């Protein structure tokens, strides 16, 4: 296949279509790999094995923590964190680090992150959580906000993409736009047009990455 300098990975075709509408395919390859960290990891690993990509970015819409990232905002990850990777205990959630089985977080590549921040000066930078089960209650939102004071958003794929990128020794970044506030699940309140408009507006920054 023809090698591309950058791989942008989304969860669903609608996100991929929003990116392809504004990106030059000679500069950025855009692929939808499926929903959730397992699909993201396996799909990204397959793409990286088949192509000569110099970096990979997890891109799509996300939920934002109220007061940290509002609807329509663009967020950039400093770290991607598998927030539900661990075990329950009588004293609360135990992350995988406390179980001695590895790490639940991966840093994004500083050069990619800084280039995206320079191209998107209004973007909010912070941790982005990866969850297999999207938050649907105020209680869970509050607990996550307390556990992760630097978190600005949650999605379902970033950590999986990051694991695949790390395995292939390829730099990784994560860019999201906010469609809804994290908390009680109310699909009617999601503002998808605003999130997709923000995604299309932010996408050209991918073409300027070093």
Segment 123-170, tens digit of pLDDT: 999 999 999 988 989 999 999 999 999 999 999 999 999 999 999 999
Angle in degrees, 0-180, between the axes of helices 158-167 and 37-50, rounded to the nearest 10: 30
| Residue ranges per structural domain of the chain | 6-208
Query: What gap in Å lies between CA 16 and CA 18, rounded to an integer?
Result: 5
Query: Under DSSP, is residue 73 helix (H, G, I), strand (E, B) or coil?
Result: coil
Q: What is the CATH number of domain 6-208?
A: 3.40.50.1580
142, HSE (Cβ side, Cα atoms, 13 Å): 4
Q: Summarize pLDDT for 21-56 with one digit per residue, the tens.
A: 999 999 999 999 999 999 999 999 999 999 899 999
The torsion angles phi and psi of 172, rounded to 5 degrees, stand at: -130, 145
């Amino acid at each position: 296949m023809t090698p591309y300098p950058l791989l942008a990975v989304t969860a669903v075709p609608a996100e991929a279509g929003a990116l392809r509408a504004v990106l030059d395919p000679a500069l950025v390859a855009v692929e939808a790999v499926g929903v959730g960290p397992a699909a993201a990891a396996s799909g990204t690993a397959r793409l990286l094995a088949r192509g000569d990509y110099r970096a990979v970015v997890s891109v799509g819409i996300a939920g934002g923590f109220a007061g940290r990232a509002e609807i329509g905002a663009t967020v950039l990850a400093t770290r991607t964190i598998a927030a539900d990777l661990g075990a329950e205990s009588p004293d609360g959630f135990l992350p995988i680090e406390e179980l001695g089985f590895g790490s639940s977080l991966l840093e994004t590549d500083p050069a990619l992150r800084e280039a995206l921040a320079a191209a998107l000066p209004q973007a909010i930078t912070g941790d982005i959580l990866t969850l297999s089960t999207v938050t649907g209650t105020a209680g869970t939102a509050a607990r996550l906000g307390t556990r992760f004071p630097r978190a600005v958003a949650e999605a379902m794929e970033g950590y999986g993409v990051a694991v695949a990128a790390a395995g292939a020794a390829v730099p990784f970044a994560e860019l999201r736009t906010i469609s809804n506030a994290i908390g009680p699940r109310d699909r009617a309140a999601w503002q998808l047009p605003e999130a997709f408009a923000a995604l299309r507006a932010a996408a050209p920054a991918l073409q300027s990455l070093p």
